[in-house]
Every structure is written in C-alpha cells, then in structure tokens.
A and B are shown apart, each in its own frame.
Chain A
C-alpha cells in the first residue's frame, strides 16, 4: 500500500525518468546528494532569466526584487528549523563550511591549551578535520564518544567524557555511512548541564526529520541545501543569537562591515557579520523554493514511506547470502550500508551501475568508521521518499547477480 501518491511525486523530479546506460535510472545515492524537483530547477532558471542582480546595494528594480527574494529565505529557513530569530540563520556554502566557520571563530576565541573537544566515533571527515586543525593550533585535545558493533553511541560513557576540560561538543545527527540516528537531544541535555555548547551536524537529518533547533536546544545546527532537494553551493549555519554575537567574524570583506577606514573597521551585525562578499544569491533564493516544496509535502507520510523502503531493503538485502549489514542501530534513517564476503565493493558498485543503479562505494568520508569495523569500505544505498519498492527489488536482484559473477568460486 502506498501512503501517498508516489507516481505524482516521481513525476515532479525530471531526472527520475532519465535512463542510465540505457536502463531506467535507480537513484540510491541520496545521502550524497538529493535530486531536485522541477520547481527548484525552474526557480534557478527564473532567477537568472528575470531578476538576476546584486543585492542590498542597488537602487534599481532588479536589485530590489532579488534582495527581497533573498531576504525572504532567511525567514523561511528560520521557520523550517524553528529558530527563534531569522538573525540566527547564516548562509554558507554547506555543512563543511558551517563547521569550519564555528571552529575558526567560536573555537579560536574560546578554546585554549589543554581544553577538550568531544566528537563521536561516526563523524564525517568534515566534523573531524576542522576540530583537529583547531586542536593542533591551540594544543587542545580531541575526544571521541565510542560506538558499539551495531553502530550506536555508547551513551553510558558520555558522562565521563564530559569533563571539566570539555569546552565544545560536535556530533552528527544521522550518520552518513551507517544511518544511525543519534540521541542528540540527550547529548545536548548532558552537555548543557555542564555548561558546554553543542553543534549538531544535520547534513543527513534535515531531509528525513522535522528539525526543531529550539526543542533540541542545539547551540549550533548545520545543513546543506543540496541534500534537501536544493541547489549545490548553499547551506545554513544556525547559531543561538548570543553566541553568534559574541563570535569574531569569519571572512573579511564587503557586506560584513558597518564602516571601514584605514584605521578601524567596525563590523556589521549578525548575521551579516558572517556573510562577507556577494552571497550565493541564486542558490539561496532557490533553497527557499526547496523549503516551499518540503512545506507542501506530507512529511509524516514521506518519513513513513522511507521507513517502509528501509525495512524492505533491510529484509531483501540481508536475505542474500554473503551480505553483512554494517550499521544495525535500533534507530536508523534510510541508509543501508553493507559488505559482501569475497566481493570487492567497487566491483559490485560498478556492476550495479551497468544496470542503471546508482549506489555509493568506499569509505564515505568516514574512514574511522571503516577502521572500527575493520573493512576498507561498504556499498551504500540511501533512500529518499521518491524511491520505490520496485527499485529496492531491482537492487536486491542485481546484487545477487553481481555476487554470482564476482565471488571467487564462480570462476570457471
């Protein structure tokens, strides 16, 4: 039974009726990037066709139209993640830049030698490396919340990891390589009890969960536009206003200043203080269109459908002999990561590609996760509400064929 009109939804995404190598495209690389509905694609063309202009400067018609469209998106994002004020929304290139911004401003200002920064065992490299760079610069120490064999954080170890020296916590909401949904609200509660601020990496969660930064009580929250049906090159950093106001600027330039002389520059107020230079006007505006799309979607039904796809994929794929699922947390988003005994993930991924099926292979920018499971990489299928059970069946059938071809004993 289909809880919502999947055919209608699919018809809204032009790429889903494309072919790959002459076969109907099956797109299961949604954790890497989502596909875009036609309204989003059209909005980008519309901006460049009818009101492209630089913003916040021009007195002319086009600039005022573009400025209004741009400014409106900050309000949309505020509502989308339930921030208190639109001033808490900073436009960035994506999650990676957002985390780097916090590490370079909040981190540089507040972290000193001997301090500890706590992350988790399942972070994407983008939530490891900026903190390592900061630790190296300051002589601080990076600590890690460990996980179990199912890919769940060992929460019982958290109280001991939140020490007097812990000055910042940065954790992923949903793991991109395992699909684990982390109990970030509880992590934040425990950290706040000790006065420690928390950043939540929402790169994977924003497309699958209703985000409420006030309910989470997150100090910082980040997401990327391209993973939530929007364009590449745009994302958001949410930060509590009092934290953002106390932070030094990130980049220097136009827009971020209040006044400039050769003796002294005073900075603009939040959020403009963090948005030096001409922003990514087109993509910010189109991110707004993507948010409009989410707002008209029945998100409960979409989430229920994704859960159904996940369960179905788990069942079909785990029934295949030689397959071992990596990441079997109780709370999981629509990601199935697995290895196949005797079959190289790259070879199997390329086999699926010849059948028009797009999956991801490799370490998924989470090498420490692969080291934990003692594997070089996995095959990962990640689902979005526009995927179908027939596509899941095609994946399972073709995996069986790939194994028959590639397992060593099949050599004649």
Chain B
C-alpha cells in the first residue's frame, strides 16, 4: 500500500485532467457506482451517519493492524465521495488515519460545488472514520 500522501497526489493529478464541474461530477458518480456493496447487516442505525439530504452507513474493521472501511449511501454522489476517502484511508494504520490531514479534498476544487450541508456531510464521514481508528488503536493498547 502506498503512503497516504502518494495516494492523495495521484487523486489530485487525476482530477487535474478534468476541465469542468460536469467532468468531476461524472467521475465521482462513476466511483460511487463502482463502490463495493456494504454487507446488509451494517445498514442499520448503529452504522448510520445522518446528513441533511443523504444518509451514509459506514463500517470499519481491523485486519493485521490496518483498518478497512466499507460503506453505502442512498446518494451515488456521496458514495463517490466516500470512495475517494476510502482510497486514501482504507488499509492504513489507525495512527496514520488519525494523523491524516486530507488536504487533497481542498485541492480537488470540490468544495465550491458542494453546499455547506454536504461539505459538512463529508466532515462527518471523516470524523466517523477517525473515530473507528481511535477506537481500534485504543483497544489494541
């Protein structure tokens, strides 16, 4: 697994190919459509992050000292956003997830297209991923 910074750089350079919001939208929708399905047993309130216009279900599991996420949403676009986060965070150690600055999100130029409610949704997803990392790293100490 490459370092988080490398992955973030790759995503940024992928996005540099896009000239317009429309192209970015289509790319994120495609990521959302390709996101591996979440096991139905996790699609319950315990795993739910409620947003203003969409819901997200997120699970994190530890394997060999690394955390792997799986998720679903009723919005394909939001699934695409989760997929971007998972590219960077899934398969990393709890410590690096907790330290992650995730500066690539700003570099993608998405925030201007994502209204505050949805930007907040993104923050809630990041917070939830970090909560998993914190819980797992505390449990292993």
Contacts and interface: CB of A to CB of B under 8 A. Distances in A.
Interface string A334-357: 000000000011110011011100
Interface string A381-406: 00000000000000000000000011
A361 B21 contact: no
Contact of B29 (A353, A355, A406): A406
A21 B26 CA distance: 14
Contacts of B75: 344, 346-347
A346 B22 contact: no
Contacts of A21: 20-22
Q: Would you call the interface of chain B mostly helix, strand, loop, or mixed?
A: helix
Interface in A200-246: none
Contacts of B25: 350-351, 354
Given A361-B53, A362-B53, A406-B29, A347 B76 contact: yes
B14 interface: no
Contacts, number: 42
A344 B76 contact: yes
A362 B52 CA distance: 8
A22 B22 CA distance: 10
A346 B21 contact: no
B77 A350 contact: yes
B31 to A, nearest CB: 12
Contacts of A361: 53
Contacts of B74: 344, 376
Interface residues of B, number: 17
A249 interface: no
Given A347-B29, A351-B25, A406 B53 contact: no
Interface in B28-68: 29, 33, 52-54
A271 interface: no
Contacts of B113: 350, 353
A130 interface: no
A406 B76 contact: yes
A160 interface: no
A411 interface: yes
A179 interface: no
Nearest to A351: B25
A288 interface: no
B77 A347 contact: yes
Given A344-B75, A347-B75, A354 B53 contact: no
A266 B21 CA distance: 59
Nearest to B117: A362
Contacts of B29: 347, 405-406
18 contacts: A344-B54, A344-B75, A345-B53, A346-B77, A346-B78, A347-B29, A347-B77, A351-B25, A353-B113, A354-B22, A361-B53, A362-B52, A362-B53, A376-B53, A376-B74, A405-B29, A406-B29, A406-B76
Given A22-B20, A344-B54, 13 more contacts: A21-B20, A344-B74, A345-B53, A346-B54, A346-B77, A350-B77, A354-B20, A354-B21, A362-B52, A376-B74, A377-B53, A405-B26, A411-B33
Top 4 nearest A-B pairs by Cβ distance?
A: A354-B22, A344-B75, A346-B53, A354-B25
